Structure formats: structure tokens, C-alpha cells
A = this chain, B = another copy of it.
Amino acid sequence: MSAEQPLDPVADQIRTVLDGRWAGVRQQLRADPDFPVAVPALELGLEEHRRRTLEMCTRLGGSDLVRAGLPESVGGAGDVGASVTGLEMIGHGDLSVFVKAGVQFGLFGGAIAALGTERHHQRYLPGAADLSLPGCFAMTETGHGSDVQSILTTATYDPATDELVVHSPSPAARKDYIGGAARDARLAAVFAQLVVGGEGQGVHCVLVPIRDEDGQPMPGVTISDCGAKMGLRGVDNGRLMFDRVRVPRDNLLDTYGAIDDEGTYSSPIESVNRRFFTMLGTLVRGRVTVGGGAGAATRSALTLAVRYGLERTQFHHPDSEREVAILDYRGHQRKLLPRLARSYALALAQNALVEKLAAIASGEIDSEHEQRELESRAAGLKAMTTEHATDTIQACREACGGAGYMSLNRFADLKADTDVFTTFEGDNTVLLQLLAKGMLTSYRTEFTDLDTRGAILFGARQATSSVIEHTIGGSLIQRLLSGAPGRDGDDALDDRGGQLALFEDRERHLTETLAMRLRRAGDEGADQFAVFNDAQDHLLETARAHVDRIALEAFVTAIDTAPEGPARELLATVCDLYVFSTVEAHRAWYIEHGRLSSSQAKGVVARTNQLLGEVRPHAGTLVDAFAIPRAWLTTEMMDDLAEL
């Protein structure tokens, strides 16, 4: 591939929009000669890959990127946004490094920062940051991953010695898939049921040394290796069993639950349940980071596949001797361009999410409601971004044919490495449920006084607009919505406000009807599980509709930051493609619920096809605007094409 060339002005303006608030961090990493570029994993043995990954993480540990994320009290910049954005960029490089760094700095360091108090920060965070203290995050167990509240590991306070006794009572209690456990970690942040004075206080986090300075397991700790995985082979996932391992009381991370010198437990949060969700909520950063990395990997794949599609030819044009570039085929455009548009929407929604995370971390925003909204949105966006990654990277591989199957052409690792993103940091199904439940909670809060079904129906129809909160770009979105033509107008979908209204309408209707269905669980004699289970697909669809809508709002808001002219116009066209291809995918629903007529729905298909034609000439510009340095995406297939 050719050396790095400056972007053309339109691509560069779009890059600025996509780069968002932490553009500086992105540009710095793009120019960084030490950036951890991926090498094909199959070239390395497992041990060599793990060694290399640790080495790259250690190098990162000394960088601005990691320092940015530390609290100011231990010499950091307290700039969570810069740190999360930096990690997202690592997602363009080696994904083992991305994940191992995420575990070390985000999860292990993040747990200490969020759940620990000042003495923990001072003692552990510098080592967590510079990797002189390699750690791991031991939450998931063989028996329970999604249902963290049911984990079985115990941490029992022993007043006789003022220690906590950490124990795995059964094979199901084994800590499993723990990144860092198999090889490198010395200290584990272990999630366990805290028992003080015989009373269970729910899940808390305790720091447990698992290896000594020589790398030998500590007494009572049994460590095993998960061995080879589909991907992420540079990450040393392992398993931990504890046989009554004793650690000082001080090792309890005690922001949300402390044991005092008299051995008495206290917490600022009375309810065990609420305490649990509050503690878990502080760990939202990991989930945000995974979404960012998935987005980055997706953009890498799209960049490769679109560039390949622009150069690769196969069949002759029927009217001439030349061969047709494969991206000129409608079928190929259908494969890549709607996914490209969706990647834009999701990237901009991710930026908005990181801004909110940073605002809450800095204290700029400080409300329980906003924290809950952040958690819900992070859950939903992580689910949809990682699902989109799996789907899109697969489509990109197929779009490159046999070349896409060769290890040297990156898709093998992009696919294998990101595959588990839909599972870790929260299984996507569970996360979408979390989001939907959050949406229902807001909904119930709005309609708390209306407790019969009829009243809900009435209330919902009257006061619907208040159910939808415009968390991104509030006043702009509101203005567009009020200018929208009525939904029956044929031109509604050509108007940005009309598009927003159509997305909102779907979300609102799904939420209202879901609330009504679930309300039946409260009926006398109702089989709660059956009621919930019958509505599960409805519930998941509701969550998806929410993410579709906020992604559109993020897109619309970002377009507004682009300078007037071709960049802005192109972004608007890509946004249209996102809208039309999304509505097309759900058009059965829109017809069934009287939102679109059959002929309008056919019109949506036709307009989507038309937009593919409009976006096609700019496909190169749109992937150039991702601004992934060519050196990070070197592949044999593009070299081969250049030779033909």
C-alpha cells in the first residue's frame, strides 16, 4: 500500500466530525510510531503472543493515554474521555492488546478506582497503571456469568484475625475466563458474597494476591489456563479456585460497604439489591470501552472491504471491454453501504456516550437519574455495536472473497478477536434486557399515578412525548421534531424531523405496549415467568428501537457540527441511508402498526436502493474519513490488486 497521504478536504472535515471531542488523542495515536499494530495471530505461538501482548500493554502503561485515566490524586489527569477514546483507537490495532489493556487499566484499575477508597488508590493505582502490578478482574464464575448476584464465591469476615476468608465452595464457584489469570496477574479483584457476623451483605470486591513475586500461585489459590481460544490469543484467560484464602480486612474495596475496627459492617446504601446495582454501575466504563473497540474493529474491516470493492473487478461490463468494479454492483453495495452508514451512526452515538461518561466522572453531571441513563445507554450501545461488529466484519470478509479468508488479510483476526465482544462485559441479550428494564422504569416513573390498565393506556396516548428523553442534542432534535410534517404525509420520511418522529414513534409504541403486557404479571395468579417470557422478544425489540433512535439523534446532532458544504451534505446522505435501511429492515412492523402504507413501505425499499447509488461515488471518501493509517491496515490483498 502507498504511504500515508493527507486526506482530501471533504474526508478531513468528516474525520473531524467523527473524531469528536477527543480528536487530539486520536491524532496523537495516529502519528505514534509505537502504536501496537496487529500481526496475524497465527504466526505467533500462544506463549509468544501473550508475551508480546504484555510487553505492548506495559509500554502503553507509561503513556499519556493511561495517565489520562488515573485520578488526579495519584498523579493522573482524571480525563476519562481521553482514556476511553485512546483505548478505542487501540481497537484499530492489536485487539489482544486492546482487551488486555482494558482488563488491566479499565477493569482491574477501574474497580480499585471506583470501589476502593483513597488508601487503595494510593497503594495500588500507580502499579496498576505502569503494570508493575499486573492484575485481573475476577467476577465471572463457571456457574454464573450474566447473573452476578448469584455468584457463589464467599468472603467471610473473621473477627478473630481481622481477616477476610475468600473461598470457592463448589466447582460452579470457580472464577472462569479471567483475563490475566493464566499467566501474568499477581493481584485479583475478586467479587464474592461478603459475609460479616454471619450475615450476607451481597456481592463486594476484595483484593486477593494470587501469585508471588516469582509468579508462583499463592497458598490456597489454584490457577488453571483456559488455553487456546477462538481469538484474543494474546490474552491469558484463566481460572481461579480459592481454598479459604485469608487477606487483611483492608483488602475489601469499601466505598459501598465497609467493615470497621469493631468488625461491624456498614454501607451508605441500605438495600442490598440497590447496593449491588450501584457498585456494578460504577464499572460502566468497561462496557463503554468494549463498544468503542468493536466500533473501531468494524471500521477497520469496512475500510479494507470498501477499498477492495473499489479496485477489484471480475466480470466484463456488458457494453464495453472494461470489467466492472465489484462495488458497482447493487448486491455488493447492499452488503457494505448500509453497514457503513450504520457504523457512522453508532460511532457518533459512541462519542456522545463517552462525553456523558466523562461528564459524570468529572462531576460535571451529578444525578442518580443521569447515572442510570448512562448505564442503560452503555448497555444498549455495547450490545448493538458488538452485534453490528460481528455482522459487518463477516460481511466484509465475504465481500473480499477468497482473499478475505487468508490470514494475512486481517479478517481472520478481526472476526475471531471481536467474536466474544457480544458475550463479555455482559451478554448482549442480558444487556438489552437491562436497557429495556431501565426504559420501563422511566416509563413507570412518569405514569406512577395511573395504575389500572385503562389509565395507562389513556396516559400513554396523552403524554407520550414525555416518555422519550432527548439525551443527545436535545434542543436541535426538539426543533426538528416540531417542524416535521404529519406522519401520514408521503414526504414525512424525506424530512429529518419526520425521520426522527418515525423512529421515536416505534420506540414509544413498543415501550407502551410492553408495559401493558408486563403489567399482567401483577395480576392475581399470574405466572410471572410466562408473562415475562412471552414478551421477551418484544422487550428485546424495544431496546433495539431505543438504540436505533439515539444513534439517529447522535448522527443528526453531529451533522450540525460539520461546516456547510459537501462534507455536511455527504453526511446527510449517509444519515438518510442509515434511516431508510433501518426502516426498511423493520418495515413489516411499520405496516402492521399503521405507520406506513404498503406503498410507502415499497417506496422505502426503492429509496434505499437510490441512496446506495448516491453514496457509492463517495464510498472511498467515507472510509478515508475513518482516518485509519494505512500502516495499520497493511494487507497482501491490496498489494496483489495493485499488481494486476
A residues near B, CB below 8 A?
A: 40, 42-43, 46, 140, 142-147, 150, 170-172, 176-177, 226-231, 233, 314-319, 323-324, 328-332, 334, 390, 394, 397-398, 401-402, 404-408, 411-412, 415-416, 419-420, 422-424, 427-429, 527-529, 532-534, 536-537, 540, 587-588, 591-592, 594, 598-599, 601-602, 609, 640, 643-644
Question: If A146-B314, A329-B533 touch, does A319 touch B227 (CB 8 Å cutoff)?
Answer: no
A96 to chain B, nearest CB (A): 14
**CB-based contact A533/B328 at 8 Å:** yes
Interchain CB contact (< 8 A) of A147 among B170, B231, B314: B314
**CB-based contact A406/B226 at 8 Å:** yes
The 9 closest A-B pairs by CB, nearest first: A230-B412, A588-B588, A228-B407, A330-B536, A42-B228, A405-B420, A318-B528, A172-B644, A177-B402
Question: If A328-B533, A402-B177, A529-B318 touch, does A227 touch B408 (CB 8 Å cutoff)?
Answer: yes
**CB-based contact B415/A230 at 8 Å:** yes
**CB-based contact B319/A528 at 8 Å:** yes
B-side contacts of A402, CB under 8 Å: 140, 145, 176-177, 420, 423-424
Question: If A398-B422, A422-B398, A588-B601 touch, does A143 touch B316 (CB 8 Å cutoff)?
Answer: no
A626 to chain B, nearest CB (A): 23
B-side contacts of A390, CB under 8 Å: 394
Interchain CB contact (< 8 A) of A229 among B227, B315, B323, B407: B407
A interface majority secondary structure? helix
B-side contacts of A528, CB under 8 Å: 318-319
Bound form: Cα–Cα A394–B395 in Å: 13
B-side contacts of A416, CB under 8 Å: 230, 412, 416
Question: If A142-B644, A171-B644 touch, does A228 touch B176 (CB 8 Å cutoff)?
Answer: no
Question: If A533-B328, A534-B330 touch, does A407 touch B644 (CB 8 Å cutoff)?
Answer: no
**CB-based contact A334/B537 at 8 Å:** yes
**CB-based contact B330/A529 at 8 Å:** no
Instruction: Please name the residue on chain B nearest to A407 by beta carbon.
Output: B228
Instruction: Please name the residue on chain B nearest to A428 by beta carbon.
Output: B398
**CB-based contact A537/B609 at 8 Å:** yes
B-side contacts of A176, CB under 8 Å: 402
Bound form: Cα–Cα A540–B332 in Å: 12
**CB-based contact B314/A145 at 8 Å:** yes
**CB-based contact B394/A423 at 8 Å:** no
